[in-house]
Protein backbone atom coordinates (compact mmCIF):
# COMPACT_ATOMS: atom_id res chain seq x y z
CA UNK A 1 0.00 0.00 0.00
CA UNK A 2 2.76 2.45 0.93
CA UNK A 3 4.60 1.82 -2.33
CA UNK A 4 1.41 2.45 -4.27
CA UNK A 5 0.71 5.67 -2.43
CA UNK A 6 4.29 6.77 -2.95
CA UNK A 7 3.98 6.19 -6.67
CA UNK A 8 0.80 8.22 -6.75
CA UNK A 9 2.02 11.17 -4.73
CA UNK A 10 5.58 11.84 -5.53
CA UNK A 11 5.91 12.36 -9.23
CA UNK A 12 7.12 9.00 -10.45
CA UNK A 13 8.72 9.27 -13.84
CA UNK A 14 7.82 6.42 -16.14
CA UNK A 15 10.81 4.29 -15.21
CA UNK A 16 9.87 1.48 -17.55
CA UNK A 17 10.10 3.90 -20.47
CA UNK A 18 13.38 5.47 -19.47
CA UNK A 19 15.61 3.15 -21.48
CA UNK A 20 13.60 3.61 -24.65
CA UNK A 21 13.29 7.38 -24.33
CA UNK A 22 16.77 8.23 -23.12
CA UNK A 23 19.02 9.95 -25.62
CA UNK A 24 22.77 10.01 -25.20
CA UNK A 25 24.93 12.94 -26.26
CA UNK A 26 28.71 12.63 -26.22
CA UNK A 27 31.23 15.44 -26.14
CA UNK A 28 34.50 14.95 -28.02
CA UNK A 29 36.72 13.14 -25.49
CA UNK A 30 39.93 14.89 -24.51
CA UNK A 31 41.31 11.48 -23.65
CA UNK A 32 39.92 8.01 -23.89
CA UNK A 33 37.15 7.61 -21.31
CA UNK A 34 34.08 5.55 -20.51
CA UNK A 35 31.45 8.20 -19.85
CA UNK A 36 29.22 6.65 -22.49
CA UNK A 37 29.46 3.26 -20.78
CA UNK A 38 28.62 4.79 -17.40
CA UNK A 39 25.66 6.61 -18.95
CA UNK A 40 24.42 3.36 -20.48
CA UNK A 41 24.78 1.67 -17.10
CA UNK A 42 22.74 4.38 -15.38
CA UNK A 43 19.99 3.92 -17.94
CA UNK A 44 19.85 0.12 -17.67
CA UNK A 45 20.87 -0.73 -14.10
CA UNK A 46 17.95 -0.96 -11.68
CA UNK A 47 18.07 -0.37 -7.96
CA UNK A 48 15.84 -0.33 -4.89
CA UNK A 49 15.94 2.65 -2.54
CA UNK A 50 14.41 2.39 0.92
CA UNK A 51 13.67 5.71 2.57
CA UNK A 52 11.37 7.57 4.95
CA UNK A 53 9.01 10.53 4.66
CA UNK A 54 9.90 11.54 8.23
CA UNK A 55 11.91 14.65 7.19
CA UNK A 56 8.80 16.01 5.49
CA UNK A 57 6.61 15.29 8.51
CA UNK A 58 9.13 16.96 10.82
CA UNK A 59 9.16 20.05 8.60
CA UNK A 60 5.38 20.07 8.18
CA UNK A 61 4.66 20.03 11.90
CA UNK A 62 7.10 22.89 12.43
CA UNK A 63 5.77 24.99 9.55
CA UNK A 64 3.02 27.41 10.51
CA UNK A 65 2.09 27.83 6.83
CA UNK A 66 0.65 24.30 6.76
CA UNK A 67 -2.85 24.45 8.27
CA UNK A 68 -4.16 21.66 10.49
CA UNK A 69 -1.01 19.58 10.21
CA UNK A 70 -1.73 16.18 11.79
CA UNK A 71 0.34 14.74 14.59
CA UNK A 72 2.24 11.90 12.91
CA UNK A 73 4.86 9.92 14.88
CA UNK A 74 8.20 10.09 13.12
CA UNK A 75 8.73 6.36 13.67
CA UNK A 76 5.39 5.42 12.11
CA UNK A 77 5.71 2.56 9.60
CA UNK A 78 3.32 4.53 7.37
CA UNK A 79 6.27 6.78 6.56
CA UNK A 80 8.45 3.98 5.18
CA UNK A 81 8.79 3.86 1.42
CA UNK A 82 10.55 1.80 -1.24
CA UNK A 83 11.32 3.04 -4.74
CA UNK A 84 12.38 0.88 -7.68
CA UNK A 85 13.70 1.95 -11.05
CA UNK A 86 16.70 2.54 -13.23
CA UNK A 87 19.45 4.63 -11.68
CA UNK A 88 18.81 7.29 -14.31
CA UNK A 89 15.10 7.33 -13.52
CA UNK A 90 15.76 7.51 -9.79
CA UNK A 91 18.19 10.40 -10.29
CA UNK A 92 15.62 12.24 -12.38
CA UNK A 93 12.97 11.72 -9.72
CA UNK A 94 15.35 12.94 -7.04
CA UNK A 95 15.96 16.13 -9.01
CA UNK A 96 12.31 16.95 -9.69
CA UNK A 97 10.94 16.02 -6.28
CA UNK A 98 13.52 18.07 -4.35
CA UNK A 99 13.24 21.18 -6.51
CA UNK A 100 13.29 24.63 -4.95
CA UNK A 101 11.42 27.83 -5.79
CA UNK A 102 12.93 31.28 -5.33
CA UNK A 103 10.90 34.18 -6.69
CA UNK A 104 12.77 36.88 -4.82
CA UNK A 105 13.64 39.84 -7.10
CA UNK A 106 17.19 40.55 -8.13
CA UNK A 107 18.14 37.25 -9.75
CA UNK A 108 21.02 37.12 -12.22
CA UNK A 109 19.54 37.39 -15.71
CA UNK A 110 22.81 36.11 -17.16
CA UNK A 111 22.83 32.93 -15.10
CA UNK A 112 22.67 29.78 -17.18
CA UNK A 113 23.32 27.11 -14.58
CA UNK A 114 20.79 25.16 -12.57
CA UNK A 115 19.65 26.62 -9.27
CA UNK A 116 21.25 23.72 -7.44
CA UNK A 117 21.63 25.69 -4.22
CA UNK A 118 17.93 26.47 -3.84
CA UNK A 119 16.42 24.98 -0.68
CA UNK A 120 13.90 22.29 -1.66
CA UNK A 121 10.25 23.26 -1.64
CA UNK A 122 9.73 20.58 1.02
CA UNK A 123 11.98 18.06 2.73
CA UNK A 124 9.60 15.16 2.14
CA UNK A 125 12.03 13.51 -0.28
CA UNK A 126 15.28 14.35 1.55
CA UNK A 127 15.79 10.72 2.58
CA UNK A 128 14.99 9.54 -0.94
CA UNK A 129 17.51 11.96 -2.45
CA UNK A 130 20.20 10.72 -0.07
CA UNK A 131 19.36 7.08 -0.82
CA UNK A 132 19.54 7.65 -4.58
CA UNK A 133 22.93 9.32 -4.27
CA UNK A 134 24.19 6.34 -2.26
CA UNK A 135 22.84 3.90 -4.85
CA UNK A 136 24.54 5.74 -7.72
CA UNK A 137 27.79 6.16 -5.78
CA UNK A 138 27.89 2.41 -5.12
CA UNK A 139 27.84 1.74 -8.87
CA UNK A 140 30.28 4.39 -10.09
CA UNK A 141 34.00 4.79 -9.55
CA UNK A 142 36.23 7.35 -7.88
CA UNK A 143 36.83 9.11 -11.21
CA UNK A 144 33.18 9.59 -12.16
CA UNK A 145 30.95 12.61 -11.60
CA UNK A 146 27.21 12.42 -12.24
CA UNK A 147 24.97 15.51 -12.21
CA UNK A 148 21.19 15.34 -12.68
CA UNK A 149 19.57 18.72 -13.33
CA UNK A 150 16.00 19.83 -13.80
CA UNK A 151 14.97 23.42 -14.50
CA UNK A 152 12.26 24.91 -16.73
CA UNK A 153 14.93 26.87 -18.63
CA UNK A 154 18.56 27.85 -17.92
CA UNK A 155 18.76 30.05 -14.85
CA UNK A 156 15.05 29.69 -13.97
CA UNK A 157 14.00 30.49 -10.38
CA UNK A 158 12.73 26.91 -10.03
CA UNK A 159 14.73 23.71 -10.21
CA UNK A 160 17.21 21.39 -8.60
CA UNK A 161 20.42 19.51 -9.15
CA UNK A 162 21.65 16.22 -7.69
CA UNK A 163 25.39 15.59 -7.84
CA UNK A 164 27.28 12.38 -7.10
CA UNK A 165 31.05 11.97 -7.08
CA UNK A 166 34.13 14.18 -6.82
CA UNK A 167 34.75 17.40 -8.74
CA UNK A 168 36.33 16.59 -12.13
CA UNK A 169 39.77 17.92 -13.07
CA UNK A 170 40.10 20.93 -15.37
CA UNK A 171 41.00 18.85 -18.43
CA UNK A 172 41.13 15.30 -19.72
CA UNK A 173 37.41 14.78 -19.06
CA UNK A 174 35.08 12.69 -21.21
CA UNK A 175 31.35 13.51 -20.96
CA UNK A 176 28.03 11.95 -21.95
CA UNK A 177 24.49 13.19 -21.34
CA UNK A 178 21.24 11.35 -20.69
CA UNK A 179 17.96 13.16 -21.31
CA UNK A 180 15.11 11.78 -19.19
CA UNK A 181 11.45 12.80 -19.74
CA UNK A 182 9.60 14.36 -16.82
CA UNK A 183 6.21 13.28 -18.09
CA UNK A 184 4.97 16.71 -19.23
CA UNK A 185 4.66 17.80 -22.84
CA UNK A 186 6.95 20.33 -24.46
CA UNK A 187 5.61 23.85 -24.90
CA UNK A 188 3.31 24.08 -27.95
CA UNK A 189 4.36 25.93 -31.08
CA UNK A 190 1.63 28.51 -30.46
CA UNK A 191 3.38 29.56 -27.25
CA UNK A 192 6.43 30.85 -29.10
CA UNK A 193 4.69 33.91 -30.56
CA UNK A 194 5.25 36.13 -27.53
CA UNK A 195 6.96 36.01 -24.13
CA UNK A 196 3.73 36.15 -22.15
CA UNK A 197 2.34 33.07 -23.88
CA UNK A 198 5.62 31.22 -23.48
CA UNK A 199 5.89 32.17 -19.81
CA UNK A 200 2.36 30.89 -19.18
CA UNK A 201 3.05 27.59 -20.99
CA UNK A 202 6.29 27.02 -19.11
CA UNK A 203 4.66 27.90 -15.78
CA UNK A 204 1.80 25.47 -16.36
CA UNK A 205 4.18 22.63 -17.13
CA UNK A 206 6.52 23.52 -14.28
CA UNK A 207 3.71 23.26 -11.74
CA UNK A 208 2.63 19.94 -13.26
CA UNK A 209 6.11 18.59 -12.53
CA UNK A 210 6.17 20.02 -9.01
CA UNK A 211 2.70 18.62 -8.20
CA UNK A 212 1.02 16.39 -10.82
CA UNK A 213 -2.67 17.29 -10.38
CA UNK A 214 -4.21 13.87 -11.06
CA UNK A 215 -2.10 11.87 -8.59
CA UNK A 216 -2.31 14.71 -6.05
CA UNK A 217 -6.12 14.72 -6.23
CA UNK A 218 -6.30 10.98 -5.59
CA UNK A 219 -3.92 11.23 -2.67
CA UNK A 220 -5.77 14.14 -1.05
CA UNK A 221 -8.83 11.92 -0.71
CA UNK A 222 -7.02 9.86 1.92
CA UNK A 223 -6.38 10.59 5.57
CA UNK A 224 -2.88 9.15 5.80
CA UNK A 225 0.49 10.96 6.03
CA UNK A 226 0.78 11.08 2.23
CA UNK A 227 -2.34 13.26 1.98
CA UNK A 228 -1.05 15.58 4.68
CA UNK A 229 2.29 15.91 2.90
CA UNK A 230 0.62 16.83 -0.38
CA UNK A 231 -1.26 19.58 1.46
CA UNK A 232 2.04 20.69 2.95
CA UNK A 233 3.56 20.88 -0.53
CA UNK A 234 0.68 23.02 -1.74
CA UNK A 235 1.02 25.20 1.37
CA UNK A 236 4.66 25.83 0.53
CA UNK A 237 3.77 26.70 -3.07
CA UNK A 238 1.07 29.04 -1.79
CA UNK A 239 3.62 30.73 0.45
CA UNK A 240 6.24 31.08 -2.30
CA UNK A 241 3.88 32.35 -5.02
CA UNK A 242 1.17 34.17 -3.02
CA UNK A 243 -1.45 32.12 -4.86
CA UNK A 244 -4.72 31.54 -2.99
CA UNK A 245 -5.25 27.78 -2.73
CA UNK A 246 -7.55 27.27 0.27
CA UNK A 247 -10.75 27.20 -1.79
CA UNK A 248 -9.70 24.67 -4.47
CA UNK A 249 -7.94 22.41 -1.97
CA UNK A 250 -11.07 22.35 0.22
CA UNK A 251 -12.76 20.49 -2.65
CA UNK A 252 -9.61 18.65 -3.79
CA UNK A 253 -9.68 20.58 -7.05
CA UNK A 254 -5.98 20.20 -7.84
CA UNK A 255 -6.43 21.33 -11.45
CA UNK A 256 -7.62 24.73 -10.20
CA UNK A 257 -4.96 24.84 -7.48
CA UNK A 258 -2.24 24.19 -10.05
CA UNK A 259 -3.74 26.76 -12.41
CA UNK A 260 -3.57 29.41 -9.69
CA UNK A 261 0.07 28.62 -8.92
CA UNK A 262 0.89 28.68 -12.63
CA UNK A 263 -0.85 32.03 -13.02
CA UNK A 264 1.32 33.41 -10.22
CA UNK A 265 4.50 32.04 -11.80
CA UNK A 266 3.75 33.02 -15.40
CA UNK A 267 4.53 36.77 -15.18
CA UNK A 268 7.87 36.09 -13.46
CA UNK A 269 8.79 33.51 -16.09
CA UNK A 270 7.77 35.84 -18.94
CA UNK A 271 9.80 38.70 -17.48
CA UNK A 272 12.80 36.46 -16.91
CA UNK A 273 12.69 34.98 -20.42
CA UNK A 274 12.30 38.45 -21.94
CA UNK A 275 15.47 39.58 -20.12
CA UNK A 276 17.47 36.56 -21.23
CA UNK A 277 16.53 36.10 -24.88
CA UNK A 278 16.13 38.26 -27.99
CA UNK A 279 12.92 36.61 -29.11
CA UNK A 280 10.28 34.15 -27.87
CA UNK A 281 11.46 31.66 -30.48
CA UNK A 282 15.02 31.81 -29.12
CA UNK A 283 13.71 31.39 -25.59
CA UNK A 284 11.57 28.40 -26.59
CA UNK A 285 14.69 26.66 -27.89
CA UNK A 286 16.10 26.69 -24.36
CA UNK A 287 12.99 25.57 -22.49
CA UNK A 288 13.73 22.26 -20.78
CA UNK A 289 10.76 21.75 -18.46
CA UNK A 290 9.92 18.41 -20.10
CA UNK A 291 13.25 16.73 -19.34
CA UNK A 292 15.95 16.09 -16.78
CA UNK A 293 19.53 16.15 -18.00
CA UNK A 294 22.02 13.75 -16.48
CA UNK A 295 25.63 14.61 -17.31
CA UNK A 296 28.27 11.93 -16.73
CA UNK A 297 31.93 12.94 -16.64
CA UNK A 298 34.85 10.56 -16.37
CA UNK A 299 38.60 10.95 -16.26
CA UNK A 300 41.69 8.86 -15.68
CA UNK A 301 42.96 8.41 -12.09
CA UNK A 302 46.19 10.26 -12.95
CA UNK A 303 44.18 13.35 -13.92
CA UNK A 304 42.28 13.31 -10.66
CA UNK A 305 45.49 13.11 -8.62
CA UNK A 306 46.91 16.33 -10.02
| DSSP per-residue letters across 217-243 | HHHHTS-SHHHHHHHHHHHHHHHHH--
Backbone torsion region of residue 67, taken as left when φ is above 0, otherwise alpha when ψ lies between -120 and 50, otherwise beta: beta
What is the pairing mode between strands 291-298 and 23-26?
unpaired
Average pLDDT over every residue of 160-166: 95
* Beta-carbon contacts of residue 80 (< 8 Å; ≥ 6 apart): 2, 50, 51, 52
What distance in Å separates the CA atoms of residue 44 and residue 65, rounded to the nearest whole number? 41
Residues forming beta bridges with residue 24, ordered by sequence position: 178
pLDDT digit string, tens, across residues 69-104: 677 888 889 899 999 999 999 999 999 999 999 887
* pLDDT score at 75: 86
Model confidence over 122-156: pLDDT tens digits? 999 999 999 999 999 999 989 999 999 999 999 99
Residues in CB range of 30: below 8 A, 6 or more apart: 171, 172, 173, 174
CB 83 within 8 A of CB 93: yes
Mean pLDDT (whole number) for 248-268? 97
Question: Which residues constitute the domain of residue 173?
Answer: 2-304
Question: Taking CA 173 as the corner, what is the angle to CA 172 and CA 179, rounded to the nearest 5 degrees?
Answer: 165
- Taking each helix axis from N to C end, the angle separating 126-137 and 54-62, rounded to the nearest 10 degrees, works out to 150
Name the residue among 80, 53, 93 with its Cα closest to residue 228: 53
pLDDT value for 116:
55
CA dist., res. 123 & res. 97, Å (int): 9
Q: How far apart are CA 51 and CA 48, in angstroms?
A: 10
Per-residue pLDDT of 178-217, as tens digits, reads: 999 999 998 888 888 999 999 999 999 999 999 999 999 9
Total tally of structural domains belonging to the chain: 1
The predicted model scores a pTM of 0.85
Amino acid sequence: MNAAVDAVVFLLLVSAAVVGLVTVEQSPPATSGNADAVADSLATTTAQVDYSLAPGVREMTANAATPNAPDIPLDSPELDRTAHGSLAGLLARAATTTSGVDLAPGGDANATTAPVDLPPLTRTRASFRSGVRDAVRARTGATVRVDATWQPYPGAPVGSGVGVGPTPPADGVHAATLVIPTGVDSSPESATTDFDSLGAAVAERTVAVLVPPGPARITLRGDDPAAALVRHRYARLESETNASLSEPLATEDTEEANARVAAALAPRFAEDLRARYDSPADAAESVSVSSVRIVVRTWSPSRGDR
